[in-house]
Amino acid sequence: MTEALIVRGLDKTFTKPAVMDLDLTVHAGELYALLGPNGAGKTTTLRMVAGLTKPDKGEISVFGIDARADPAAAKAITAWAPDEAMVYDRLTPLEYLEFVAGLWNVEPKAAKARAEDLLAKLGLAAEARTRCEGFSRGMKQKVALAGALIHDPRLLILDEPLTGLDAAAARLVKDMLQERVDAGGTVILTTHILEVAERMADRIGIIAGGRLLAEGTLDALRAQTRKGGAGEGKDGSSLEDVFLQLTAADANGGAA
Amino acid sequence: MTLTAPGSILWLLAHEMRIYWRNFRAGRAGKGARGLISLVVVATMLVGGGVLAALGLHAVEVPINPISISLAALVSAVVFTLMLSQTLSASSEALYDRGDLDLLFSSPIGPAKVLFVRSLGVAGGVLTIFALILTPLLLPSVIWGHPGWIGVFGVLGALALASTAVGLLLAMALFALIGPRRTRTVAQVMAALVGAAFFLVSQTRTILGVQKSNSLFAEITRQAQEGRLHPAPIVGLPLRAMLGEPLPLLALLAGSAALFALAALTLGRRFSDAAAATQGKTGARPAKATRGDARRAFASGPFLATLRKELLLIGRDAALLSQVLLRVLYLIPTALLLSRNAGHGTGAALAGGAGVVAFLAGQVAGSLAWITLSAEEAPDLLAVSPARIRTLRRAKLTAALVPVALLLVLPIAALTWFLPAVGAWTALGAALAAWSSGLINIWHQRPGKRSDFKRRGGASWMATIAEMLVSALVAGATGLAVAGLWPWALIPLGLAGASLLSLRRSDAQIARNLRTR
């Protein structure tokens, strides 16, 4: 199986350790959900993968490219969308997408067609030439998502992509992500909405205190909680139960 | 219900003043010893100036004659225009910058009362600025020999109220004429024009030429000597009020207070409707696609895409445009002086003018380069892209230089038409100064917000000083070259080059510097 992302021994310390000896593997064509309580190190991990934060130690490989040795090559096939949309208030969505496409060197004609298509899919066609300054948080999130997709990345990294979206917009985004995965794309996302991860993710990683506590399909995680004695871990238990058992066990110093 | 009960005008005013004071303190936070030292130096200079003025004016009695009356009226008019430039801008901000307006409008307090207090805040703000400068200068004279001059503060208060009233009326008129979105832009530009009006009037002689204009002071003196100056009694009010005559002072204060009340209360209802109308549409352009927009191809590659994005952002930044416009207005007399001298031959004025053009090109380019390089709104977006940082920097520097080139192309072309060598030296000097300022801003980036542009609050202190120094050296070299002393021009040019070399930073140093912030 091709690996979209391999992370080995990743370390990052700010004033205190944020990520410690983290190993992570994401297969190509899967939707991987990275879950964890606040301050667990999810965003720091993803920022290191996206090339925004320099790790103290460790290896990051994106589709076989050593992201630390050749960041430009890794970035060319990756997209990053943080929870705070990176859009310019004084640009229209179309102008924003033109800029982002330029950064990734997308051929102008193809970029324009793709931008119009993405905005239409995200329900922003009518606002394509309206400056973003009057947009709601959800609309800005959608513009940022279109920006992340404009260069058709092989690896899409999303930090809390559903924050600020209403039910209809959230469904739209989830459908787009699923569509992308079905077409062979790879998506890594963090979310606090565990039902989303439970329903959409092929595999789930649970991180706390900068360490990966568990990784696998929901069934594998259930099995892991049973084996590790972290809790009841029944076959029908929800991801929320599993998550709480694993993180509680870690907080209590138990093995998960 | 007492005067200071919650919801009362005084209570609201106290709230406004507390917020104003905390914002002021927040703005000063982090300036540390440097800020304190500069404050002490300025205060000492002002107090020193005030004491010297008191010593000199101790025995002087200001005569009430047509000359003094006209001059006092003129000074009042100048102060009024300077205040108006502030109140016009502040009034449009009161309408646009929501701040806590949503909270206040959602409370049971009437919107007219909220806006009346906000208008008082605008007047109070502008009065404070002028009073802070004037008090140390004037107070020694008031204490020592001229107690009546305390009336100057009363005149200042009257001017603050009147200028706020006119600022509010203009903002409302703009709102009705051109709608909410453009009001902010036009108000900022108008504020710049009004602010520069005094300077341009004072430069009439430069602009029109010696033969076509006498200075205003000389004209007033000449008319008075010829017995033709008969100011109307109302023109004498400012001088009499400044000298402490109670009735003129009361008349001015009552007149301006009435004008303020008329504007703030009568227009309060419309103003609050206008403010409410801006809710939820903070300047968004209505969705309309022009045919050109729809047909235009996307820019190709990181350089062109970044250049286009930066030029769009510069063009859409009302505050930035008004500040650049202000600097251009200050450039007009110099440019005219230059072209007139170019028509008549060379001279010291021509060399000086060429130097000023080069210096201002450096300063404007430096400010724009700070905006494009350091005030990036989405730095993470650029960081996650595969685009080379050097390509992005080059595009941003180009974006900063394009407006400077556009501003200077016509005057320099005209100059080159008359005197090709002078035109070429001036173009070279302006280009070199602008490029140097851009490079300094690349090497000494300091991330900040676009909104900080007006006071360059986010800019590196070192970059600002270095920009000024290098621009001055290049300006000196330009002036010397224009004067025909080009071998001497090599000295400041060499110093500018040495300064640039000492300021230079490698990519790794720039990155390290940005990371450590």
Which residue in the set A82, A91, A103 is minimally distant from B382, CB to CB? A103
B346: left (phi over 0), alpha (psi -120 to 50) or beta: beta
Q: Which residues of A touch B377 (CB under 8 A)?
A: 88-89
B415 in Cβ contact with B423 (< 8 Å): yes
Q: What residue of B is the nearest CA neighbor of A136? A: B280
Helix (H) or strand (E) segment spanning residue B64: none
CA B154 to chain centre: 26
Average the pLDDT over each of A172-186, B55-69, B337-351, B488-502 and give the range with the smallest value: B337-351
Q: Which residues of A222-249 are buried (b: 16+ CB within 10 A; e: fewer)?
A: bbbbbebebbebeeebebebbbbbbbeb
Q: Which residues of A touch B285 (CB under 8 A)?
A: 92, 129-131
Percentage of chain A exceeding pLDDT 90: 58
In the prediction, which pLDDT does A119 show?
Answer: 95
Task: Place B102 in a pLDDT band, splitting at 50, 70 and 90.
Answer: low
Q: Which residues of B touch A126 (CB under 8 A)?
A: 287
User: Which candidate in B279, B298, B514 is best for mutational testing of the A interface (most A CBs within 10 A)?
Assistant: B298
- Which one of A33-42, B20-29, B77-86, B165-174 scores highest in mean pLDDT? A33-42
Asked if B381's CB is within 8 angstroms of A147's CB, the reply is yes
CA distances from A227 to A239, A249, B182, B415 (A): 16, 13, 66, 86
pLDDT digits (tens, 9 = 90+) for B387-402: 999 999 999 999 999 9
Rounded Cα gap, residues B171 and B191, in angstroms: 11
Residue B267 has pLDDT above 80, yes or no: no
pLDDT digits (tens, 9 = 90+) for B295-332: 678 888 999 999 999 999 988 887 777 777 777 776 66
Residues in chain B: 517
Residue B289 has pLDDT above 60, yes or no: no
- B294 or B158, higher pLDDT: B158
Q: Which residues of A touch B385 (CB under 8 A)?
A: 75, 100, 103-104
Vertex A217, ends A213 and A222: CA angle to 5°?
65
Which residues lie across from A216 on neighbouring strands? A204
SS3 B317: coil
Which residues lie across from A207 on neighbouring strands? A212
A178 in Cβ contact with A209 (< 8 Å): no
CA distances from A38 to A41, A73, A221, B429 (A): 8, 31, 20, 56
Lookup: tokens for A114: 């793709």
pLDDT digits (tens, 9 = 90+) for A148-164: 999 999 999 999 998 87
Average pLDDT, stretch B134-148?
Answer: 89
Q: Which residues of A touch B280 (CB under 8 A)?
A: 134
Asked if A91's CB is within 8 angstroms of B386's CB, the reply is no
Q: Which residues of A touch B383 (CB under 8 A)?
A: 51-52
Average pLDDT, stretch A214-242?
Answer: 74
DSSP H helical segments within B456-506, as ranges? 461-482, 486-503
Task: Place B287 in a pLDDT band, splitting at 50, 70 and 90.
Answer: very low
In the prediction, which pLDDT does B283 show?
Answer: 43
Q: Which residues of A touch B380 (CB under 8 A)?
A: 52, 80, 82, 86
* Helix (H) and strand (E) counts in chain A: 9, 10
Rounded Cα gap, residues A115 and B164, in angstroms: 47
A225 in Cβ contact with A256 (< 8 Å): yes
Residue B479 has pLDDT above 60, yes or no: yes
Task: Place B269 in a pLDDT band, splitting at 50, 70 and 90.
Answer: low
A99 in Cβ contact with B309 (< 8 Å): yes
Asked if A105's CB is within 8 angstroms of B306's CB, the reply is no
In the prediction, which pLDDT does A234 show?
Answer: 57
Closest CA to B52 of B130, B131, B135, B137: B137
Average pLDDT, chain B: 80
In the prediction, which pLDDT does B280 show?
Answer: 45
- The sheet carrying A211-216 orders its strands as A78-81, A155-159, A186-190, A31-35, A203-208, A211-216
Asked if A109's CB is within 8 angstroms of B380's CB, the reply is no
Q: Which residues of B touch A102 (CB under 8 A)?
A: 298-302, 304-306, 308-309
The ipTM (two decimal places) reads 0.81
Vertex B117, ends B112 and B121: CA angle to 5°?
145
Average the pLDDT over each of B100-114, B354-368, B473-487 and give the range with the smallest value: B100-114
A interface toward B at CB cutoff 8 Å? 50-52, 71-73, 75-76, 78-80, 82, 86-92, 94-95, 98-105, 107-109, 111-112, 115, 126-131, 133-135, 147
Average pLDDT, stretch B74-85?
Answer: 86
Asked if A108's CB is within 8 angstroms of B380's CB, the reply is no
In the prediction, which pLDDT does A218 show?
Answer: 86
Asked if B306's CB is within 8 angstroms of A103's CB, the reply is yes
Identify the residue whose tokens are 């990053």. A80
- A108 or B217, higher pLDDT: A108
Task: Place A245 in a pLDDT band, splitting at 50, 70 and 90.
Answer: confident
Task: Please report the DSSP string for A148-179 in residue order.
Answer: HHTT--SEEEEESTTTT--HHHHHHHHHHHHH
Q: Which residues of A touch B297 (CB under 8 A)?
A: 108-109, 112
B319 in Cβ contact with A121 (< 8 Å): no
In the prediction, which pLDDT does B156 show?
Answer: 94
Average pLDDT, chain A: 88
Rounded Cα gap, residues B161 and A85, in angstroms: 43
User: Which candidate in A49, A88, A103, A150 is best for mutational testing of the B interface (most B CBs within 10 A)?
Assistant: A103
In the prediction, which pLDDT does A10 show?
Answer: 94
Q: Which residues of B touch A75 (CB under 8 A)?
A: 384-386
- B70 or B202, higher pLDDT: B70
User: Which candidate in B384, B394, B507 is best for mutational testing of the A interface (most A CBs within 10 A)?
Assistant: B384
- pTM of the predicted structure, to 2 decimals: 0.70
Asked if B386's CB is within 8 angstroms of A72's CB, the reply is yes
Identify the residue whose tokens are 């063009």. B315
Percentage of chain B exceeding pLDDT 90: 22
Q: Which residues of A touch B291 (CB under 8 A)?
A: none
- Which residues in B266-315 belong to E strands, given as ranges? none
Q: What residue of A is the nearest CA neighbor of B314? A: A90
Asked if A102's CB is within 8 angstroms of B382's CB, the reply is no
In the prediction, which pLDDT does B210 show?
Answer: 53
- B460 or B237, higher pLDDT: B237
Which residues lie across from A156 on neighbouring strands? A79, A187
Q: Cβ neighbours of residue B191 under 8 Å, at least 6 residues apart?
A: B84, B85, B86, B88, B89, B322
Look up residue B374 and give its DSSP letter. Answer: I
Closest CA to B114 of B283, B273, B282: B273
DSSP H helical segments within chain A, as ranges? 42-50, 71-76, 93-103, 108-121, 137-149, 167-182, 194-200, 218-228, 239-251
B interface toward A at CB cutoff 8 Å? 280-289, 293, 297-302, 304-306, 308-309, 312-313, 316-317, 377-378, 380-388
Residue B485 has pLDDT above 50, yes or no: yes
Q: Å from B448 to nearest chain A CA? A: 15
Q: What residue of A is the nearest CA neighbor of B296? A: A112
Lookup: tokens for A34: 């990275």
Q: Cβ neighbours of residue A163 under 8 Å, at least 6 residues apart?
A: A83, A137, A141
